[in-house]
């Protein structure tokens, strides 16, 4: 056993275990957040953060694997690959660079010490010389950078596609839905600076248009019903809890339409902002809705003060764009 450790760099083993413990922590931290999300807004935010950190997790995992390989097989080239993947993983998520830094430093130390150990104990073995190791390092670095570049390009392409599908949308008024949920409009105009404060009520349908006046999607608030349902594990001090029932329809958007409680800013009669509330009753959750389809969903909110009505600002958030679509509702609670 003593000889086993004497022939291997302890720095590589320490680096591997630090990376492993960090990897377990970050996976549990981010992915358990998705499971624990109690509202659409929390789920959206957690999912977005997890998507950003996923490349960092993947490269860290690869670094840990090569760290153990380098220690077990006494291979400098594996330690070099581990160092490179740790470094690329840190670059992928600079906010957590400090947590990967010990692995990067220890891998570097391990590369140097393992070379000395191999020279001492393995004089009759075939040991990769510096030139061959440099070639392996270059190839592994190119592969890793290529993977990272492909990921970044694919992510940016997805974001740009989503942005282009809806960033030019503005809001207009439509009439209430008929029995077939087909909206007809007697007043259809783009919202301008003079009528941004138009207030909508229950059953009125807001039609959002693109810059050319083409109908893109619609939103209707169907009801806001009070409920006595309370969550015993929620410590929020609330006056009332109500279920907001709404319907959205994708008329012609190329991308799927998704509207959740994240898109609603709710205030009670005293102007207090209302939070979402984790009710236990069954609800329809929002779904990704393709063109030509519609979805009816419910979200639960809690008022701070007892109120007969609430004010709702619908604002469809478009990442990386300031052209967010807005509509204002005043809704009676029943």
Do both 320 and 229 map to the same domain?
yes
Do both 22 and 115 map to the same domain?
yes
Q: Distance between CA 27 and CA 54 in Å, rounded?
A: 9
Do both 276 and 144 map to the same domain?
no
Residue 119 predicted with pLDDT over 80? no
In whole angstroms, how far apart are CA 246 and each of 49, 88, 331?
Answer: 27, 45, 12
Do both 13 and 130 map to the same domain?
yes
Do both 97 and 183 map to the same domain?
no
Q: Judge whether 307 and 269 are in contact, CB under 8 Å.
A: yes
Q: Annotate 244-282 with DSSP letters as a single string.
A: EEEEEEESS-SSPB---GGGEEEE-TT-PBPEE----S-
Q: Judge whether 211 and 168 are in contact, CB under 8 Å.
A: yes
pLDDT of residue 141: 56
Q: pLDDT (tens digit, 9 = 90+) per residue, 228-242?
A: 999 888 888 899 999
Closest CA to 105 of 14, 217, 189, 228: 14
Do both 10 and 157 map to the same domain?
yes
Residue 210 predicted with pLDDT over 90? no
Do both 59 and 139 map to the same domain?
yes
Do both 158 and 195 map to the same domain?
no
How many domains, the chain? 2
Do both 135 and 184 map to the same domain?
no
Provide the percentage of residues in the chain whose pLDDT is more than 70: 68
Q: Distance between CA 195 and CA 186 in Å, rounded?
A: 17
* CATH code at position 308: 2.60.40.1240
Do both 113 and 176 map to the same domain?
no
Q: Could you give the strand order of the β-sheet that contains 294-303, starting from the edge strand earlier in sequence?
A: 170-173, 205-209, 215-227, 240-250, 294-303, 275-276
Helix/strand/coil for 215? strand
Mean pLDDT on 33-51: 63
Q: Which range marks the domain in which residue 151 is found? A: 2-166
Do both 160 and 274 map to the same domain?
no
pLDDT of residue 299: 95
Question: In the listed set 143, 166, 189, which residue is the last one of a domain according to the structure?
Answer: 166
Question: In the listed set 121, 140, 166, which residue is the last one of a domain according to the structure?
Answer: 166
Tell me the CB-side half-sphere exposure of residue 319, using CA atoms within 13 A: 9
313 token code pair = 């600002």
pLDDT of residue 153: 54
Mean pLDDT on 171-180: 38
Question: In the listed set 166, 184, 200, which residue is the last one of a domain according to the structure?
Answer: 166
Q: pLDDT (tens digit, 9 = 90+) per residue, 6-32?
A: 778 888 889 989 989 998 888 888 766
Do both 162 and 174 map to the same domain?
no
């Amino acid at each position: 056993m003593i000889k086993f450790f004497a022939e291997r760099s302890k720095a590589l083993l320490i680096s591997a275990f630090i990376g492993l413990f960090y990897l377990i922590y970050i996976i549990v931290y981010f992915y358990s957040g998705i499971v624990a999300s109690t509202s659409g807004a929390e789920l959206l935010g957690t999912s977005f953060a997890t998507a950003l950190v996923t490349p960092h997790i993947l490269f860290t995992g690869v670094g840990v694997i090569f760290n153990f390989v380098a220690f077990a097989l006494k291979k400098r080239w594996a330690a070099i690959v581990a160092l490179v993947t740790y470094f690329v993983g840190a670059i992928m998520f600079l906010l957590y660079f400090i947590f990967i830094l010990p692995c990067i430093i220890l891998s570097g130390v391990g590369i140097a010490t393992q070379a000395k150990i191999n020279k001492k104990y393995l004089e009759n073995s075939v040991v990769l010389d510096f030139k061959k190791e440099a070639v392996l390092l270059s190839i592994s670095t190119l592969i890793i950078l290529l993977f990272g570049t492909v990921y970044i390009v694919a992510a940016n392409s997805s974001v740009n596609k989503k942005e282009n599908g809806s960033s030019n949308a503005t809001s207009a008024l439509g009439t209430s839905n008929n029995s077939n949920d087909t909206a007809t409009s007697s007043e259809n105009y783009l919202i301008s600076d003079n009528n941004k404060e138009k207030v909508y009520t229950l059953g009125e349908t807001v039609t959002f248009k693109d810059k050319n006046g083409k109908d893109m999607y619609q939103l209707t608030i169907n009801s806001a019903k009070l409920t006595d349902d309370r969550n015993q594990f929620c410590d929020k001090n609330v006056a009332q809890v109500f279920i907001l029932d709404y319907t959205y329809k994708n008329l012609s958007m190329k991308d799927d339409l998704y509207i959740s409680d994240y898109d609603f800013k709710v205030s009670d009669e005293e102007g207090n902002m209302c939070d979402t509330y984790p009710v236990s009753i069954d609800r329809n959750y929002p779904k990704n809705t393709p063109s030509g389809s519609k979805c009816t969903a419910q979200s639960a909110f809690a008022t701070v003060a007892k109120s007969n009505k609430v004010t709702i600002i619908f604002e469809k958030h478009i990442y990386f764009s300031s052209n967010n679509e807005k509509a204002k509702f005043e809704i009676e609670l029943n």
